[in-house]
Amino acid sequence: MPGWRSTALAVALVLVPAAACAKPFVPPGDAVVLERLPEKGDPALAELKRMRAALMMSPRDLDSAAPVARRALDAARTLGDPRYLGQAQAALGPWWKGDDVPPVALLLRATLKQSQHDFAGSLVDLDRLLAVNPAMAQARLTRSTVSTVVGRYADARRDCAELAGKVAPIIVIGCEATPASLSGQAGPAYGALVQVLALPAAAGVREWALTLAAEIAARRGDVAAAERHFRDARALDPRDAYLKGAFADFLLDRDRPGEVLPLLRDDTRNDTLLLRLALAEQRLADQRERFAAHRADLAARFEAARRRGDSLHRREEARFRLAIEKNPQAALTLARDNWAVQREPADLRILIEAARASGNDDALKTASDWIAAHHLEDALIVAQRERSR
């Protein structure tokens, strides 16, 4: 789930299909309910549906298309459902290709490409946009996020510095916190973030900053602070899919699988959250039946994604192959392919875990070299590396 924190903020400033099967299911009759669409119980999604219907009448009207794309991006972030990314791309269809694109459409296109893990394409669009509009804060924030995901921390921090005076201090400091914390300055980054969190801020921005603080605290080994930040963030938005996944990982790392069950029980549509639910069930003797069903469901979803040519969740599939399927070689292949595209701590961690399990010294050296080059401060990852020596 790379970059969802800042993607959400960028949209404000401006995965995962339902259960897929290896073979098609043909309903026996018209009365069979295949799926209950989420918009029935969500006014925001219902409004998005109405906006999409209106857009069909004038698909080249950017004033109508841009709000649809923003709403769809926000729904994809909140629900972790990439079908909404498809809706955002459809809204941007008339501006999806070509260089001569209005700035609003170009920014949304770059943001959507980021969400689709087309980081190179996103950076091309953002570079083009900022060459003409260097003061555009939204583009700066999004480019910083993408640069961080691919491990270009100096580039990310330069864009964050350019935000000073253009957006609220909490956004500048939040932007800076992640690349700084991943390149040898976790302590100062966390301290600045905690300090600015003492000031008033909009709920969405505050939740974003609290989640960043939780993740940095967890990497530094400050378990109590991390949990406090996670819970404060969840009090602001308990539906946030990225936040749920990050908190679930935190609980799993502390061997608290029982607390993951109520957190994720209603999120089985979302592949990344279903994986974490299955990882929790795997550790609990009274959840064997549910674990078996969810294991089979995940296997079918990953197979369906492979047939579609969808590589959006290589990191999650690598975790599935290693921890659940006990196939370290398959996990290492996925982890290496994933590392070639994105380089967040979770990507590094699964690379190390798969390399250790398969006895691959080359992959371990790749990870060790990265940690040393960037002075990474992550208690769990550094401990993993030490155990591998």
25 in any annotated domain: no
Does 29 map to a domain? no
Can you tell me the mean pLDDT for 197-220?
A: 97
Are 239 and 345 in a shared domain?
no
| Distance from C-alpha of 336 to C-alpha of 301, rounded to nearest angstrom | 21
For residues 192-216, average pLDDT: 97
- CA-closest candidate to residue 111, choices 188, 257, 3: 3
d(CA 298, CA 32): 23
The answer to whether residues 6 and 108 belong to one domain is yes
Does residue 10 form part of some domain? yes
- Among 139, 165, 191, the domain boundary falls at 165
Partners of 164 in the β-ladder = 167
The string of pLDDT tens digits covering residues 133-187 is 999 999 999 999 999 999 999 999 999 999 999 999 999 999 999 999 999 999 9
Residue at 239 is within a domain: yes
Host domain of residue 56: 1-19+44-165
338 and 380 in one domain?
yes
Contact 218, 250 (CB under 8 A): yes
- 129 lies in the same domain as 5: yes
pLDDT value of position 34: 36
Question: How large is the average pLDDT for residues 105-118?
Answer: 94
Q: pLDDT tens digits for 124-135?
A: 999 999 999 999
Separation of alpha carbons 82 and 270, rounded Å: 9
Residue 325 has pLDDT above 50, yes or no: yes
322 lies in the same domain as 385:
yes
Residue 37: inside a domain: no
Same domain, 52 and 150: yes
Lowest mean pLDDT among 47-61, 151-165, 221-235: 47-61
Is residue 159 within 8 A of residue 139, CB to CB? The reply is: no
Is 59 domain-assigned? Answer: yes
Decide which of 210, 225, 254 is a domain's last residue.
254
Whether 102 and 235 share a structural domain:
no
Q: Domain for residue 65, yes or no?
A: yes
pLDDT at 43: 78
Query: Which residues make Cβ contacts (< 8 Å) with residue 238, sequence separation at least 6?
Result: none
Band (pLDDT 50/70/90 cuts) for residue 29 is: very low
Residue 31, pLDDT > 50, answer no
- pLDDT of amino acid 38: 55
d(CA 178, CA 233): 17
Measure Cα distances from 100 to 60, 94, 97, 111, 116 in Å: 15, 11, 9, 17, 22
Residues 6+ apart with CB under 8 A from 353: 322, 331, 335, 384
pLDDT at res. 12: 46
Query: Same domain for 4 and 114?
Result: yes
Q: Which amino acid is at 388?
A: S
State the total domains in the chain: 4
User: The domain spanning residue 199 has which CATH number?
Assistant: 1.25.40
Q: Which of 165, 191, 209 is the last residue of a domain?
A: 165
The answer to whether residue 160 sits within a structural domain is yes
Q: In this structure, are 92 and 8 located in the same domain?
A: yes
**14 and 131 both lie in a single domain:** yes
CB-facing half-sphere around the CA of 186: CA atoms within 13 A: 19
Look up the CATH number of the domain holding residue 107.
1.25.40.10
For residues 292 and 384, state if they share a domain.
no
4 and 121 in one domain?
Answer: yes
Which residues on adjacent β-strands are paired with residue 167?
A: 164
